[in-house]
Structure formats: C-alpha cells, structure tokens
Amino acid sequence: MIQALRGTRDILPEEVGYWQLIEATVRETLGRAVYQEIRLPIFEQTALFERGIGEATDVVGKEMYTFSSRGDKSITLRPEGTAGVVRAFIQNKLHAQGGVQRLWYTGPMFRYERPQAGRQRQFHQVGLELLGCDAPRADAEVIALATDILQRLGLKNLELDINSVGNGADRAQYRAALINYLEPYQNDLDEDSKDRLMRNPLRILDSKDPRTQEIAQNAPKITEHLSLESKKHFDTVLNLLSNLNIKYQINHCLVRGLDYYTHTAFEIKSDDLGAQATVCGGGRYDGLVKELGGPETQAVGWAIGMERLVLLLQQLKSNPVIAPELYIVSRGEAAEAQGLILAQKLRNAGFAVELDLSGSAFGKQFKRADRSGAVACLVLGDAEAESKSVNLKWLASGEQQAIAQSDLLGMSQELKVKIAGLKKP
Ligand code: ATP
Ligand code: MG
C-alpha cells in the first residue's frame, strides 16, 4: 500500500471543521480591514527564495525542496509566502496603483524538517502583507489584526514578543558588537552557532541550545544600538500597542531567521502548545522589494502556522460538524425516485438535506437518521409514492404529519423557522 510521505498529513473531515473555522475567521477579520486575497504559485524560481530569504538562513540553507525542472531550471516549492507576494507585487506593478496595498494569502508551504507535533514538511500558513507604508501605525495595525484573529478563535493564553532589529546600518554596528562579545565564547557555542558567528551572528540569539542561550542572555542588546530614528519607530509601535490594549514583552533575543527584516520583529506564542509554541511570526521588511528588483517600498506582515492553530483549537472546542437539517428515508422503486427529486428541490430551497441511499429496511434508515444529527425526517414508502405525499417526522418529539409533496416547498419558510428553533447549538 502506498503511504503519504513523511511530514505530510491528510486533513480528514473529522478535523476539517477547524480549518474552515480558521479560514472563515481570517476572511471576515481581514475583509473588515479591507485586505484583499492574493493567490500565487506554489513553486517559484529558486533564486527568488535565495535572494528574498537569504542564503545564511536555515530555510534556504537546509530546508528547501529544490529540484531541477525538465528545462534545467532550478525550481523550489515555496517555503513561505512573503517572497512570492513581493515578486507578484513587482511583476504585476501593483505599486503603480499608488498608496498602500493590503494583501493576504493562505496555502501550503514546504520545508524539509524533522516532523513532529506542529512541525511538518508540508504545512499551511495564512499570512498578510501591508506594502507601501513605513509608519509605525502599519506595524501596529497588522499586529492588532493577528491578535484579533487569534482571540476571535477563542485563544486566551497568548503572548506577544516584540523586538526591533533596526535598519541596515544599526544592524551592521550591532553585528560588530555582538561578534566582539561572542568571540571569547566561541568554543562553548553549539555547532550551528559556531558556524553562524561570522555569517549570521544575530541568529545565534535565537539558538535553542541551553548553553548558547545562557551566553546570549548577557549579550549586548540590539535596542541599545538603534539610531534615534529606529528607536523612535520602535517606541511609537509600542505606544500604539498599549493604546490598543495589546500586551507585549520585549524579547531581546527575537531576531527572526530572515535577512530582509528591519525594525519591528514579533512573534505570538501560546503556552498551551508545549514545544512548538509559536503560532504567528512577522515583522517589517523595508529592504525586500528593492532587493528583488522593485522600487523602494516599505512593508510589514506576518504569517500564522495553521497546523499549530488547529492543535490549539482542538483543545478548546469540539469539531464544528456539518449535520443535515432534513434526512430523507425512502424505500421502494417509486418512493426512492421521488425522494431524490425532493432532496434536490429542498437543497435548492436552502435546506441541508441528506438522502439515505441504502435501500435498507425503514428501521435501519431511521437509526441512521437519528445518528446524522438531522432535525427532521421525510419518509416515503409505497403509499406515499402512490399519493405523491411525504411523511414529515420531527425526530426529537416523534411528532408526524402527512404533507402533499407539492405543498412542501410552499411551507419552506415555516419549516426553516421550526428547524432553526430545534437545531442543536
Ligand atoms: P520555528 O522556529 O518554529 O521553526 P519559523 O521561524 O521557522 O518557526 P516562520 O518562518 O516565522 O517560522 O513561519 C511562521 C509560522 O509558521 C510559525 O510561527 C509556525 O507557526 C509556522 N511554521 C513554520 N514552520 C512550520 C512547519 N515546518 N510545520 C508547521 N508549521 C510551521
Ligand atoms: Mg523553522
């Protein structure tokens, strides 16, 4: 038997209600803020990610699914969404429309990682990007929208970690100070961090190795190396968050893995999740659009990991199920044919209708009707088929009434009201 690949998962109907709930919440919350959805290719030229994410990062260095296409072009399955959005922004000249572009996306991402709970090789993100604005209000808006989505979904134990990584010049200065501090500890660092010391020393700060973390705790802080302008940006973002009643903590070790981040970097964590605690990561990336060949465009965005969100929601609420409102029980050739016609008519009139296709004894069909969660049953046997009627049976009370099939649609308003009143919450 051929199995699904390691690090991929089937999302079965018993779980899909959570996904749909997340998608609906995202669509509504971002729609109210007038963000527009953008749908992009799942594979791109490898160079897009190498330049857009940075070769010194784990994502590009170790985690990309890269292969050569038949024409020898190097192709990569997208490991994240931002680089593709920026490519599309430049290629389709969205900047020519002027002003601010507010975009969101959702879909699968691919990273070669060691699979574990909340960490897969094909996983899903929903993300947003606000392009064309350098104001701290943009940073605060996108953070507020992420917290809105998570709170509306019912998550409570959220923590927002925030930091500033300044601009390029601030970082160059800080980088020197950091290398200076870390060099004496070179032999105590974990292997990856040793490697990063000259290439990407900021990344050492978010090492998961306990000894490296200890060393990082006393490292100089990037916020002490910010220019006045960068510091003002950061302080303003923090003030705006306080005005919005969004609690945060400054995390000096939060630098994010990607080279194009400037100023604000943030993560939203939940302490219900154990090891994979981060559900949302984002920040400002003022350098990326230019880096990828577009006009200078400041931007800020985030991505939420959907698998981790689903794991959290599963602890909070039961799977939202789709139950039929009406269940059609029929037996006998003529009755079964009429049952199908009724099912289609009622569906088109807006009812959720399940048609029992088994042809088994009435008793068995009634049992399935009960299990389906339907509010009422429509029963057709030989007698009903003969008289073109149907027996409407309310499942909770057992109350029944015979109705002419031709009267059924005329009663649909009345039926809807009664069903709504009897539906289980
Ligand atoms: P981590 O430190 O957990 O590897 P990351 O910094 O690589 O996270 P980002 O690139 O910021 O993650 O992606 C944003 C979000 O996407 C993460 O916070 C997480 O919720 C989710 N995510 C990232 N990688 C995976 C994965 N392999 N499987 C499932 N979700 C993931
Ligand atoms: Mg990662």
More confident residue, 276 or 335: 335
The reported pLDDT for the residue numbered 257 is 54
| Mean predicted lDDT score pLDDT of the chain | 93
Could you tell me if residue 4 is inside a domain? Answer: no
Residue 228 has pLDDT above 90, yes or no: yes
Tell which residue, 143, 147, 128, 123, has the closest CA to residue 311: 123
Burial per residue of 100-138, b for 16 or more beta-carbon CB atoms within 10 angstroms, e otherwise? ebbbbbbbebbbebeeeebbbbbbbbbbbbbbbbbbbeb
362 & 270 share domain: no
| Angle (CA) 340 344 347, round 5° | 135
Q: Which two tokens stand for residue 93?
A: 């000249």
Distance CA 39, CA 252 (A): 35
- Ligand 1 site, residue 391, Cβ cutoff 6 A: no
Task: Quote the percentage of the chain above a pLDDT of 90.
Answer: 81
d(CA 305, ligand 1 centre) in Å: 6
Residue 414 has pLDDT above 60, yes or no: yes
Residue with tokens 């190097």: 74
396 & 290 share domain: no
Return the residue whose CA atom lies nearest to atom 16 of ligand 1.
305
| Angle (CA) 73 79 82, round 5° | 100
d(CA 59, ligand 2 centre) in Å: 7
22 & 84 share domain: yes
Q: Which two tokens stand for residue 417?
A: 């009201």
Question: Given pLDDT bands bounded at 50, 70 and 90, which one contains residue 149?
Answer: very high
Tell me what the mean pLDDT of segment 180-186 comes to.
94
238 & 152 share domain: yes
Return the residue whose CA atom lies nearest to atom 12 of ligand 1.
281
Q: 291 lies in which domain range?
A: 13-167+227-316
Question: Which atom of ligand 1 lies closest to the CA of 119?
Answer: 28
Residue 321 has pLDDT above 90, yes or no: no
295 & 376 share domain: no
- Ligand 1 site, residue 279, Cβ cutoff 6 A: yes
d(CA 144, ligand 1 centre) in Å: 20
240 & 371 share domain: no
The answer to whether 403 and 392 are in contact (CB under 8 A) is yes
Could you tell me if residue 188 is inside a domain? Answer: no
Q: Alpha helices, DSSP H only, in 269-317?
A: 288-291, 306-316
Could you tell me if residue 219 is inside a domain? Answer: no
291 & 386 share domain: no
- The domain that holds 231 is classified in CATH as 3.30.930.10
Residue 25 has pLDDT above 90, yes or no: yes
Q: How many domains does the chain have?
A: 2
Q: Name the pTM for this structure.
A: 0.91
- 42-98 per-position pLDDT tens digit: 999 999 999 988 877 888 989 999 999 888 899 999 999 999 999 999 999 999 988
- The domain that holds 365 is classified in CATH as 3.40.50.800
- 102-120 per-position pLDDT tens digit: 999 999 999 999 999 889 9
Return the residue whose CA atom lies nearest to atom 29 of ligand 1.
119
Could you tell me if residue 115 is inside a domain? Answer: yes
Ligand nearest to the CA of 116: 1
Phi, psi of 363 (to 5 degrees): -55, -45
The reported pLDDT for the residue numbered 258 is 60
242 & 374 share domain: no
Could you tell me if residue 243 is inside a domain? Answer: yes
Mutate to test the pocket of ligand 1, among 125, 205, 284 (most ligand atoms within 8 A of CB): 125
Tell which residue, 137, 83, 67, 143, has the closest CA to residue 301: 143
Distance CA 170, CA 160 (A): 24
Return the residue whose CA atom lies nearest to atom 21 of ligand 1.
305
Residue 28 has pLDDT above 70, yes or no: yes
Picking from 316, 342, 366, the residue at the C-terminal end of a domain is: 316
284 & 384 share domain: no
Could you tell me if residue 84 is inside a domain? Answer: yes
Residue 10 has pLDDT above 60, yes or no: yes
The reported pLDDT for the residue numbered 61 is 87
Question: Which atom of ligand 1 lies closest to the CA of 308?
Answer: 20
Question: Which atom of ligand 1 lies closest to the CA of 276?
Answer: 3
- 253-299 per-position pLDDT tens digit: 998 656 678 999 999 998 776 665 799 999 999 999 999 999 999 99
Residue 317 has pLDDT above 80, yes or no: no
Residue 19 has pLDDT above 60, yes or no: yes
List, as one string, the DSSP characters of 317-371. SPPPP---SEEEEE-SHHHHHHHHHHHHHHHHTT--EEE------HHHHHHHHHH
The reported pLDDT for the residue numbered 256 is 67
Task: Quote the percentage of the chain above a pLDDT of 70.
Answer: 97
345 & 297 share domain: no
Mutate to test the pocket of ligand 1, among 308, 309, 310, 313 (most ligand atoms within 8 A of CB): 308
- Ligand 1 site, residue 51, Cβ cutoff 6 A: no
Residue 163 has pLDDT above 80, yes or no: yes
Distance CA 121, CA 100 (A): 33
Tell me the CA distances in angstroms from 218 to 250, 310, 342, one per residue in order. Answer: 15, 36, 73
- Ligand 1 site, residue 305, Cβ cutoff 6 A: yes
Picking from 268, 291, 316, the residue at the C-terminal end of a domain is: 316
Picking from 281, 316, 351, the residue at the C-terminal end of a domain is: 316
- Ligand 1 site, residue 9, Cβ cutoff 6 A: no
354 & 381 share domain: yes
113 & 234 share domain: yes
- Ligand 1 site, residue 44, Cβ cutoff 6 A: no
The reported pLDDT for the residue numbered 111 is 98
Could you tell me if residue 217 is inside a domain? Answer: no
> What contacts 138, CB < 8 A, 6 or more positions away?
100, 130, 300
Could you tell me if residue 414 is inside a domain? Answer: yes
The reported pLDDT for the residue numbered 35 is 98
- Ligand 1 site, residue 111, Cβ cutoff 6 A: yes
